[in-house]
Structure 1
Amino acid sequence: MGNRTQSPPAASVDRLTPSLADLRSITDQVTVQGPSVHFVQENLTFPKASVDPRAALMLEVLGSFAEFERAIIRERQAEGIALAKAAGKYKGRKRPLIPEDVDKARPRVTAGESKVASARDPGVGRATLYSALAETT
């Protein structure tokens, strides 16, 4: 092995980053500093100051496929969410405070009760109550 410096292996090209530009940038930054980059699944190693055109091509091709795969996943996810919303199954996150809770807390706060105590009854934090009171003003 000698004095060769190596970084820990990355499992796969697509696990390092889903962006081709980031992949190229990361491998360049690491190899310029000395260590080599090794992708276990693809069995590719990029040593310091590598000028192997085949390795560079493989990195670009695999990075492009990873970027494409991630875009397809995002597209399918958006389609699934749209279908679920249309079917009434996807409503997003439940609101922490309902309008009735805010209506109950407002007179208490106006009367001088602390916002912390007013937020305790509906079981939310002080910041959540501040936001809700500001929205309905």
Structure 2
Amino acid sequence: MKIGYIRVSTAEQNTIRQEILLRDLGVDEIYIDKASGKSTDRPELKRMMEYVRYGDTVIVESISRFARNTKDLLELVDKLRQKEVEFVSKKEAIDTTTPTGVFMLTIFGAVAQLEREYILQRQNEGIAIAKSQGRYKGRKPIEHPDLKSTVVQWRAGEITATAAMKRLDMKPSTFYRKVKKF
């Protein structure tokens, strides 16, 4: 079977371009993640890695859609190799069934990681410059109109912390940080 894997970094990004490419390549099944590539802890990637079996081929649009650093890339491809599953990256024209393909995979993986590190470096430099000019203040804090009354109810034991977080639509770290201010 030909198995396609697609990843975009955020839920707002579109997967259509990658889907069309993979369908044109005749993939039988597609797994789509809308999550950062900096970690391999992605639900659809995990499902795909469990699903593939001997003789399958995993096809991606580019290495950067599969993994963002060389270590993760090589570990994922090694897991596929142990299951006797081929890996093909269309953009880089990599096929891991050959020694040259494995070598090129390593090189392109290192280049993808370097590119990601350059992007982060430029982003941090831009933020530092904007901060020094007083133009960057970070994201706006979450201000919920019911925060104070909800905290009062929580402290009085009328509701649980979980219920308070759900009512305010806040993650635990945000909730407890906000509570400290009262």
Query: TM-score, with normalisation over the residues of structure 1?
Result: 0.66
Instruction: Give secondary structure in 2 for the equivalent of 1:8.
Output: strand
The count of residues paired between Structure 1 and Structure 2 equals: 117
Whether the 8 Å contact between 2:58 and 2:85 is mirrored in structure 1 is: no
Q: Which has the higher helix share?
A: 1
Which residue in the other structure is 2:5 paired with?
none
- Kept after mapping to 2: 8 A contact 1:20/1:60: yes
Q: Percent identity?
A: 26
What is the correspondence of 1:49-68 to structure 2 with a 5 Å cutoff? Answer: 52=99, 54-68=100-114
> Aligned pair 1:136/2:154, yes or no?
no
* CA distance in 1 between partners of 2:134 and 2:124 (Å): 15
AA partner of residue 111 (structure 2): F
Change (3 A) 1:40 1:88: same
Pairing partner for 1:42 from 92, 112, 117:
92
Larger radius of gyration: 1
Instruction: Tell me which residue corresponds to 1:25.
Output: 75
Structure showing greater relative contact order (alpha-carbon pairs closer than 8 Å, 6 or more residues apart): 1
Distance 2:56 2:169 in 1: 50
Aligned to 1:125: 168
Q: Does 1:75 align with 2:121?
A: yes
Report the AA paired with residue 125 of structure 1. Answer: L
Q: Which amino acid aligns with 1:7?
A: T
- Structure 2: runs of 5 or more not aligned: 1-53, 160-166
Query: Paired residue for 1:10, among 60, 83, 90?
Result: 60
Q: CA deviation digits over 1:62-94, x for unaligned, max 9?
A: 111111111100000000111111122211122
Structure holding more strand per residue: 2
In structure 1, the gaps of 5 or more residues are: 116-123
- Report the secondary structure of 1:38's partner residue: strand
Alignment match, 1:121: none
Give the TM-score taking structure 2 as reference length. Answer: 0.52
The CA RMSD measured in Å over matched residues stands at 3.4
